[in-house]
Chain A
């Protein structure tokens, strides 16, 4: 009886946004008389950080400090329509709508500043710290705050913008499946290292190593949170969870977290993620969206690692100790596969 280590991998891609389009998002942005901006949306923050992504995209496009932007979501009386936070669409769809709105608001801001400075708006730039000045001549400047006050009380201008982003709904051909699905794809490859006990059938995930390509990373801390949390969900899906343990027999469903098997803190594996950025041509600053795909490669990588460890293919999830032991028995013992590489190269 022994514990066998094994290594498996999987590579995947993932479509961003509702597959066939037809899922618009809108944004409204306006400034108060002190040059502080409110972004009104109806996007939903599920904990993934929708508000913060919106705020960073708005601040970047407006050219103002992030502290001067506040995101107000989601009240159907004040926030314009958005399809919702699902299908990995938040950053991509809403981000683009915010860029459109923020560009328009920035245009008015610079026009108002140009009037105050008596220059051409096309010659103005922002410094991202609350100032607007003539390109190449930082001394000829005005603050965003003074500009907003002048716009409101002197010039009678609304520093505001509206934006919508829509990929039109595509048809699907009945006979060939031809369609115009989504416009951006993210990519990933993940390696799982596991140990399988051939006496108990238990699987321990030792570590995971992955590379994700997500277009532009808008906020690396939030990308990390998504990818790591999602990978744990993937471990759970691969090895533990099911509300129907004898599927398709529907009986013996769990009623609470005592009966619904999930990994505990001791089952969480160290995880190293490397992120590549190949900007999406139609993404906000090239951003795609890490929301959904982060569990996907974990499932097959663990299944392949179990096979590499003991020679058992489990093609029905979850990969329970019972299924592994039955497989080992059917094979006449554990049959470890070839070793693949040495210790990890995490820096």
Chain B
């Protein structure tokens, strides 16, 4: 059951729209319910081969030798692929945005680092023949000690999981074994607190469990091109990854997808496309590579588990004065996207609350398990579980109602976040109030009167405090794991240039003058212009030619000329909305 509360923030919206906000039926729904929608696996080709991989039975082992001669002679087998057949047999997904080192082979060569790691690929006329031939591959393994715990793996002497990262941690900034966040002085905060509490939380891995398992079909097109029917969640992401691994120009690949039977993050990794295309290139035949349900469950990369320690300093009146979070992401054997999730987690700390002293240390640990990957909210879901259970504990310790405790500590417009950007467009307080009302959970009058628009950014809440830095976790110096303070940054210090507001094309060059979103005159009485979102006077225009989404602007008149040039500098996050003043102001 969904209820819209149009009364809240009404002065920040223009509701005079035609189809936005309407529950109109999807263009693809008739196809879905009549089974006419085509998914990747609904494409049949003459002479199509089926690809199956031979997977490691060991969590960690050196490969002594591989004998595929019997498999190559098996009925229906057209080709057997090894690591040496893969043109670029080492990749990391985020190399497309220059983040991290290539660390994962498509087919393992000298060692396997998790149970289920692909070693050999078999292409046969039928799926049954490929499965039968899989049993004929002889691989001689020399098992190695394995490590599965995110903290054990960081200790000296732990088996090296991933030779690219010999310390078993992702290397941040080529200097640290984790990503840091430092804001204020948490130690002083703990010292001044009435109550200090630390707890450990352990998230479980989970499986994406899409209805449609991962897979793709690749087939030769004309002129040395290959068409790929793909279940990818990012079409060009998969295309770029595949082009790199099989070493072709991107315009030699023609990816078709867009309709996917459930993803939840598990179809970002391009698990099948590179080998399917390579198989098609080497055999000249169409190739289908689809994971079966067992492969999807065991080796289709899960949501990674995270271990999180939260230490909080609390005053008896319910204010949180310091929070330190230490977290370990279980990446499994290879990086995939975990390195990115840890940064996202860092930006999310300390949750939607304003706390004057905050620090976090987020590690990405390698273990001998199937690499984990993106899944719905990763980087945030786990820490939200930990934070909100911790908040429940803190409320109890302060003898406060948990809702009132959230409202007291909630961040509001203008509050400085620990990553040093001011909060804007916040609405946590209102969500708590509405949920309480609907659940019939009593709130005090004071809590009911609170607002995201009131009290934020007042005094120290808007400031970047003096901040202590340290060299803890410097790579190559294990003794610095618990190092002392190295430096104190003065209050107000900012080191990263604020990002520009997005520049939307069409407003600045010689092409058509941007035209505002239409008003639908005949159907409606003329609505008075909404009090908020007046045309922004030039100094408040965020960047040279970006204008806010058209829904926020009165319809007429359209701008006669492009907006004025950029103001000297635009402080990201410093532009905020105020429904009190009805204008955007700095």
Contact = CB atoms under 8 A, between A and B. Distances in A.
Interface in B139-164: 148-150
B181 A166 contact: no
A152 interface: no
A107 B520 contact: no
A303 B389 contact: yes
Contact of A253 (B26, B176, B297, B520): B297
B500 interface: yes
Given A60-B18, A297-B384, A75 B431 contact: no
B577 A177 contact: no
A146 interface: no
B42 interface: no
A274 B5 contact: yes
A22 B96 CA distance: 11
A344 B438 contact: yes
B200 interface: yes
Interface in A256-280: 256-257, 260, 262, 271-280
Contacts of A321: none
Interface stretch (A194-202, A212-220, A326-334): A212-220
Interface residues of B, number: 176
B506 to A, nearest CB: 5
Given A177-B182, A262-B209, A217 B235 contact: no
Interface string B224-243: 00000000111111010000
Contacts, number: 560
A317 interface: yes
Contacts of B426: 13, 185, 187
A57 B401 CA distance: 42
Given A76-B235, A189-B406, A286-B549, A138 B522 contact: yes
Contacts of A184: 425
Contacts of A99: 504, 549-550
A293 B384 CA distance: 10
B36 to A, nearest CB: 15
A61 interface: yes
B32 to A, nearest CB: 8
Nearest to B236: A81
B389 A96 contact: no
A286 B406 contact: no
Contacts of A61: 517, 550
A82 interface: yes
Given A47-B260, A187-B352, A176 B467 contact: yes
Contact of A276 (B8, B253, B293, B343): B8
Interface string B499-539: 11111111000011111111111110000000000000000
B556 A135 contact: yes
A204 B106 CA distance: 44
B580 interface: no
Interface in B403-445: 403, 406, 410-411, 418-421, 423-428, 430-442
A211 B431 contact: yes
Contact of A340 (B3, B176, B183, B441): B441
Contact of A52 (B28, B207, B237, B386): B28
Interface stretch (B274-282, B372-380, B454-462): B372-380
Interface string A276-315: 1111111111110001110111011101100100000101
A103 B506 contact: yes
B9 interface: yes
B425 A278 contact: yes
Given A187-B427, A250-B115, A42 B258 contact: yes
Interface in A227-279: 227, 230, 233, 236-237, 241-244, 247-250, 253-257, 260, 262, 271-279
Contacts of A111: 512
B421 A181 contact: yes
Nearest to A241: B206
A26 to B, nearest CB: 10
A286 B469 contact: no
A-B pairs, 6 with minimum CB distance: A84-B234, A107-B512, A74-B258, A300-B388, A177-B181, A285-B551
23 contacts: A7-B441, A19-B343, A44-B258, A46-B233, A46-B262, A84-B232, A126-B518, A127-B523, A128-B523, A174-B175, A177-B181, A179-B419, A181-B421, A237-B204, A241-B204, A279-B425, A281-B552, A281-B575, A283-B549, A293-B377, A295-B377, A299-B388, A340-B402
